[in-house]
Structure formats: structure tokens, C-alpha cells
Structure 1
């Protein structure tokens, strides 16, 4: 099988893998462009000479300055935490499409407020970042679940991966914009306002694009709007309503809905009751949240938000050089995200990527921390030296391990691991966990570099240890979710050991669908293979 060969849960018409489903995912992923841009631009903007001068950073002692920077960065994550929780209610009552439009509107208001800050008054920036955080927090809950609900199982990882790709493209612009400004524009108020204003571009594109998006068919079916749900499903799949594939998918949606009605019931508070009463559901919520603990424990957001501080700790000095090095970091992340999206996430699967990425990344962090510890007090600060060059090299190797593994894979798993009755609440929990751990890291990273070992070496040892621990977590507790239909996730998490769960479920789904076709369509369908794409082999337990 080639790298792009799809392992399908059932015979699938080629029309299903069409431009519409990719376009819906791409438009919705402008939300992640907003998030990625902020994670990249804010750290270097705080280091711009014009920003430092306007808000009096030069006159603050290092501890007070660290606190101010931490507050500017972390209030965004605090707003996002509450936005992701509020998105559960919005997604339930308003649906995916209208909720996305509402949250991007909040983001745009917040981004606009930031632009009026001046003369040392940081209040508009702090207030605007809280509102912008609420907007992106809500979007971070809505978008992955929307994409997973419209995706054919065989390319679900790839489509949810577009969300991560948008994150990296936004970050790429954010990493380079301040380098470009330092090279082309002298220090001025406009110099630091430009990177803040650029936030409005992906937000505006999402506001416009969201008007074109089709509402999730699964959400419409859950609200009893079957005719509209069927119409949207046929539009996204580019198939007629009487096509066997559509008949099977609707039957699967109905079966999942009937199971929900017969077990926990339907209603706003029912998922909360399901979580409170079922330890198996609680366990899945725990797993989803822990994935974001390990993701943030790898050090990625410390690097994203405080890249000048991170590179300075290694020995890179000078605003221009630091910004350029940060820009290269963004390039490496973006390129490898393309590799992850196109070749890895739906081929190697989620488990292998997470374990390989954590293992390789941990080795790199140990090496960087060891270099800082061994050379503390010996570096002259003028030249990087051969050891410093090696440390920078391993930093980029760490990026190469992290980007196609922990960067986007936790979002993919959380978007697909919950059943229909708890999916919205589960994604809200996942997004809230992401922003909570993101807040912890962004709030305390400056203080960590000041207090954890010589030259901040302890920070790198901490991240290395977290990545090692994540391997054990994934190996024993996270089953492989690739190619498993959303309606079969309950069964996936029942099978032990988790290392064989995927193979068992794929085979059970195949046998079930064969029986369904015999009973519903008859022998004629078995002979009509034209227009269908079959996987070349079926993985069996």
C-alpha cells in the first residue's frame, strides 16, 4: 500500500472524497489561523523596540517585567478557557455554523480593542486579549467537532488535520511578521500596531466563509431536522439520497441516536448526567484532557509565546537574529505539518506518531538542557560557539519530532473519540483542557527560566521528562482511532489491550456492513461494484 492509500471502513464511492468536504474543513480552519497567529506574533511583538519603549519595559526590573509579559500572554488563554466551555451551550442550541460565526465576531471585537492602546496604558490590550481569547476558545471547540462530523472515516484525520495546518500557517505569518517589520520599518507606534491589526484578516475571512458553510448533518439529525440534515449530507458527499452509501450512513446516525435516547436520553443536561453516572465516559474525558497536559508539557507553548526568551537562553542574542531564528522555527513546523497531514496521520495512525514524537523530542531536550548546564558561566554571550550551534540544531530536531506528532494529533483524537451523546461536551472539555494547560505554561514560563537551574536548564529537563512520561501514557491507555467510524468509538474503548482494539473494531464494522447490505439492498448490490473504491486489504484482528 502507498502512503496515500486509504483504509476504508466499508466500500466507498469515489465521489465522497470531493472538494466540498475539503473546502468546508478549510474554511472552518480559518479559526485556527487566528489561534496560530496569536501564539506566534505576541512573543516577538513584546520584544519589539517600539513596544518596549511605548509601554516602559526598560524601566521595569526583571521580575516585574516577567510578570507583565506573563499577564499579557496568559489572559488570552484564560478567556479561551471560558470560551471553550461556553461553546458547549452554543453548539447545542445554535448548531456548529452559527456558533462559529458568533465566536469569531467576539474575536474581531477583541482584536479591534487592542489597537487603541497607547502611552503606556496596557488596559486595552489586556481587555482585548480576554475577548479575543473567548472567541478563539469557542472556535477551538466548534471547529474540530464540526470537521469530524462531516468527514468520511478514511480521511477524518486528514480533514481535522487541516485545522492544525491552519494553526501552523497562521503561526508562520506570526513568526515572520515582526522580523520583516524590524528590517523595513523604524521603531514607531505603527510598527507594533501592524502585527496586532493582522489578526483581523483571518477573522474577517472566517466571518465571510462561515456564511457558505453547511450545518453539520449529524447535529441537524439530533434536532429532528431530518430533511435538512439529509440535504446537507448529500451535498457534502456529492451523492443522491438513495445511494447505498448515504442509506448506510443515515442508518448509522439513526442507530447512534436511538442508542442515546434509550440510554442517557436527549437534552442539554443529559451528557452531564452521562458523565456523572458512567465511569467509562469519565475515563474517556480524562484521557482526552490528559493528552493536552502532555502536549503542553512538551514545551511547545513556552517556545511559541516566549521564543526570544527561549533562544536567548541557548545563546542567541540580538533582536533581529532572535526573530530570524524564530521564523525558521515556524517554517520547520509548517513544512512538517504538511507531511503529517498528507502522509502520516491517516497512515501511521495516532498512537505511533505520539510515541515516536515524544521519544525523539525528549532526547533533544535532554541534550539542550545538558549543554546549558555544562556551559553555565563559560559562554561569553558574544558568539554562539560550536556547542551553541549544536544546541540550536537539536532544537530544530526537536521541532521535527514534535510537529508531525503532538502538535495536531491530540486535536484529531479528541474530535473523534466521544460517542454522539457526549461528543459536544467532550470536545468542550478537550478544548478547555488545552487552554487551561496552555494558560499554566504561558503564565509561568518567564518565572521558570529565572528560577529553574543555571541558564534555565531545568526547564528543558522538565519538558524532556514530561515527554518520556507521555510515551507510557499513550502505550497503555490510548487506542488507535484511525479509520474507526464515530458511531463505533464506544466499542473501541471497551477492548483491551488497547494495542489491538483498532484491528478488532475495523473487522467488526466490515462484517456488520456486509450483513446490512445483504439484508437491506440484496444480492444485487454485491454485484454492482462499479464506481466504488475498495481498500486493497482489510486489517483483521
Structure 2
């Protein structure tokens, strides 16, 4: 069991302390470049919020085809997560991310130049493959590069960049929509901006080293040590490489990475189900219904269309603030405690949104502002306590020999749930209104609290090798009274 300070005795006693200076700066530079994948993730998923309305007019979309355009990226992301993880295991994290940058550019080009609904869907699917791949590969890449002491905050930077990308999309949508909304094809400009971070990711990753743990798994010890010396002091790099080598040597008989092998092992199957559960919990909070359809929710609450486009920036701002706080918390507060706090707060917000929608009459001057405030509180709670924690845990909880499969399957399910919620959310609001929709989210929240309390193990303060050993032997599941 981890201590209150989050530093396990085994981890702290084995390795020399971290040093600052050039190694810390280089680690920060590598993390910044890799998280452009998260920025692209955020922008591509958020831009549809404002681009959909003018796009619908020009391409002649119906309510059904609007849902198809929105969810096409998400279904593509589900498959991108699976194949991205497998490709990263075989080809390397760095090469895979470079390939994803090219997919982002290709998908953007198709969407910007599309002459029809069908071509737009194709472009959105390609973007989805890139988004899903980035969502599964970038967090693992960061976790494998990071020292265990700061792994949470470093891995969590990807989630910060996701919400920065979404905020950028909301701001750009609001500016272009309110100043140039009358210009035909303005939505194409909104989509085209995605090419800038895609280029930055492509050229930046050319200068970034490969994951040392992936190199060690491929028998390339000297290359792995060279990478670690670039990011750590020499004594720390040598000690870490010995730790990694010892763990890989101990698990040589566990080099199976197929899905069938995972489900036949009870401990690997259990950690996979925990990963899937975390992905489902995150999406069934309804967070992305706000990020994708925030304008619709705010119009339903009583805002005018243009005012809703501007008000939609508020959740984006609080999401960024929450992510910054979450990064500070990641290496100071236990993961389980963070998750339980987040689910509790978001569930309370769901109940309050449902009550406000029911109790405040339509046409009331206070109604839209109160609901906006509660939505901002919900997004802030979600981002501070849940989003970052979920992605960090998914990146670190799977053993090396199943990390690609575990991350890929978990994120595949996450994206499938995301796509289903996004596809049916407008219809759900039409049928049961905001009140019924958010009460439903609250009911799911109660079940989520029980799941996390019972099944999710603690990972803070452990090296990846210690987590690997704890999962494969089953000892990590014995904490907190779990059997």
C-alpha cells in the first residue's frame, strides 16, 4: 500500500534522486512535443461544436447526417486506439506518433476540401483514426519516459493539452462565427487550423527519442541507456536501466501480448476490466456531450444561438484551469481518492442541473445563467479530479507485455461509449429533456463510485516495474480489502 506521501519505500530506496538542469529541461521539451497529439485530439473533437451549423447549411445536412458527421470521428477513434496501441508495440512509440501526425494532416485536408457529406465522413473517420491512436499511444509514451516521482504530472500534460485544444476550438469558433459567420465556407477555415499543430507534431517528433522501455523490450539496451542518459543524470539512468532489465528478464515467460492470452490470465483479465471500466465511467459522466453539443444544451437552457456560442467558452476555460490543478495533484494525492472525489462531485452536479432545469421555468431570466454555472462546476469537477486521473492510470496500470493490448482495448471501449453518447445525446434531450438526461447521468455516477471503491487499485508512487509485478502476481488487488 502506498504511503500518504505517495512514495513507496521500494521505489524510493532503489534509485538515486532526480536532478534538475538540462535533463529536466529536455524531459519537458519531449513532453511538450509529444502532447501536440493531445492538442490535436482536443481541437478536432471540439471544433465540430461551432463548425457544424454552417457546415450543415452548405452541405445540406439533416439532423441524422449531422449526428453521423459528429460521431464518425469518434467511431474512427475507437479503431485508431486499438490499432495504434498494437502498432506502437511492434513499430515503436515514436514512429507511430509520427505516422499519426501524417494522418491528422491527411484527414484535415479531406475535410477542408470536401465537396459532399460522404467525403466529409471519410475525412472525419481518418481524423478519428489519428485521434484514437494519439489517445492510446501518447500517454503510454510519456509514462514510459517519465521518472516515477513525476509520472502522474508528466503523463497528465497530455490531458491538459486536450482541453487546451478544445478551448482553442471554442474560442476560434466564437470569433469566426460571430465576425465572419456570414461568409460561405467559414467552417472550412475552422477545420483548416488543425494543420498547424499537426505540422508541429510531425517535425517535433523527428527530434524526440524512442521510449527506453520499448527499446529494452526489443533487446536494445545500449540505445535505451542512451535515451535515459539524455533525460536523467548518469547514475540515475544506469540504475533505472538495471531495474527495467531485471523486470523484463523476470517476465520473459510472459511475452504474450495477444488478447486471448490476456483474457485467459485472471490477473491480466482483471486489470483489463478495470481499464475498460475507467473508460466507461469517464464517458458516462456525459462530459463530451457538453464538449460536442454545449451550444445545443445552452440553447435548450435559454440562451440565444450566438450568445450560446460565446457562453460555451466558459466550460472550456474551467477545463483548462481544472487540468492545471489536476497536474499539481497527480503526484501528491492518491489516484483512488482523486477518482472517488471526482465522481462524487460530478454526480452532485448532475443532480443539481436536473433540479434546476425542472424547477426553473422556461423563459426565466435566471434559468440559463444558473444552468451555465452548474455546467461550469460540472466540467471543473470532471477535469480536476477525473479526466487527467483516468488517462494517467490507463497509461501506467498495464504490465509491459500487455500494455499495447490493454491500452488499446480500454481506449477502444472508451471511444465506443463516447461515440454512442454523442450520437444519441441530442435525441435523449429531445425525449426526456435536460432534467431526465442529467438525472440518468447521476444514476450512473452512483454505480461508478461503487466500482472504483471496489475494483480500482492504487498506482501512485510506484515505478512501472513495481506495478507490472503487482498486477502479474495479483498483489496489487489485495489492497483496501479487495480479494
What TM-score does the superposition give when structure 2 sets the normalisation length?
0.92
For 2:162, which of 163, 167, 180 is the aligned residue?
167
**Contact kept in structure 2, 1:271 and 1:421, CA below 8 Å:** no
Cα 1:390–1:88 shift into 2, 3 Å: closer
**Contact kept in structure 1, 2:52 and 2:66, CA below 8 Å:** yes
Three-state SS of the structure 2 residue aligned to 1:423 is: helix
Q: Structure 1 residue 13 and structure 2 residue 4: aligned?
A: no
Q: Structure 1 residue 259 and structure 2 residue 237: aligned?
A: no
Pairwise CA RMSD: 1.9
Quote the Cα distance in structure 1 between the aligned partners of 2:287 and 2:350: 12
Displacement after TM superposition at 1:43 (Å): 1.7
Aligned 1:218-257 pairs, distance under 5 A: 218-237=213-232, 239-240=233-234, 243=235, 245-257=236-248
* Greater alpha carbon shift after TM alignment, 29-38 vs 490-499: 490-499
> Deviation per CA, 1:233-287, whole angstroms, max 9, x where unpaired?
11121x22xx2x23321221112111221x324xxx5443530320110010010
Displacement after TM superposition at 1:385 (Å): 2.1
Q: Which residue of 1 aligns with 2:470?
A: 491
- Determine which structure has more spread, i.e. the larger CA radius of gyration: 1
Q: Which residue of 2 aligns with 1:74?
A: 71
Quote the Cα distance in structure 2 between the aligned partners of 1:7 and 1:233: 21
Quote the Cα distance in structure 2 between the aligned partners of 1:114 and 1:283: 40
Q: Structure 1 residue 351 and structure 2 residue 346: aligned?
A: no
Quote the Cα distance in structure 1 between the aligned partners of 2:55 and 2:67: 15
**Contact kept in structure 2, 1:35 and 1:167, CA below 8 Å:** yes
Cα 1:13–1:409 shift into 2, 3 Å: closer
Quote the Cα distance in structure 2 between the aligned partners of 1:186 and 1:424: 43
Quote the Cα distance in structure 2 between the aligned partners of 1:346 and 1:499: 20
**Contact kept in structure 1, 2:159 and 2:387, CA below 8 Å:** yes
Quote the Cα distance in structure 1 between the aligned partners of 2:73 and 2:56: 20
Displacement after TM superposition at 1:387 (Å): 4.0
Quote the Cα distance in structure 2 between the aligned partners of 1:270 and 1:74: 30
Q: Which residue of 2 aligns with 1:135?
A: 130
Q: Structure 1 residue 109 and structure 2 residue 99: aligned?
A: no
**Contact kept in structure 1, 2:279 and 2:413, CA below 8 Å:** yes
> Greater share of helix residues, 1 or 2?
2
What TM-score does the superposition give when structure 1 sets the normalisation length?
0.83
Q: Which residue of 1 aligns with 2:39?
A: 33
For 1:479, which of 457, 461, 465 is the aligned residue?
457
* Greater alpha carbon shift after TM alignment, 128-137 vs 250-259: 250-259
Cα 1:500–1:158 shift into 2, 3 Å: farther
* Greater alpha carbon shift after TM alignment, 486-495 vs 356-365: 486-495
Displacement after TM superposition at 1:397 (Å): 1.5
For 1:379, which of 340, 343, 362 is the aligned residue?
362
Q: Structure 1 residue 303 and structure 2 residue 290: aligned?
A: yes
**Contact kept in structure 1, 2:36 and 2:198, CA below 8 Å:** yes
**Contact kept in structure 2, 1:308 and 1:322, CA below 8 Å:** yes
> Deviation per CA, 1:341-383, whole angstroms, max 9, x where unpaired?
1x211111211111111111111111111222334xx423xxx
Displacement after TM superposition at 1:326 (Å): 0.6
Q: Which residue of 1 aligns with 2:400?
A: 420
Q: Which residue of 2 aligns with 1:53?
A: 57
Aligned 1:313-462 pairs, distance under 5 A: 313-316=300-303, 318-341=304-327, 343-375=328-360, 378-380=361-363, 384-451=364-431, 453=432, 455-462=433-440
Quote the Cα distance in structure 2 between the aligned partners of 1:250 and 1:236: 12
Q: Structure 1 residue 205 and structure 2 residue 200: aligned?
A: yes
**Contact kept in structure 2, 1:24 and 1:213, CA below 8 Å:** yes
Quote the Cα distance in structure 1 between the aligned partners of 2:39 and 2:344: 28
Three-state SS of the structure 2 residue aligned to 1:483 is: coil
How many residues are aligned here? Answer: 469
**Contact kept in structure 1, 2:77 and 2:132, CA below 8 Å:** yes
Three-state SS of the structure 2 residue aligned to 1:12 is: coil
Q: Which residue of 2 aligns with 1:122?
A: 117
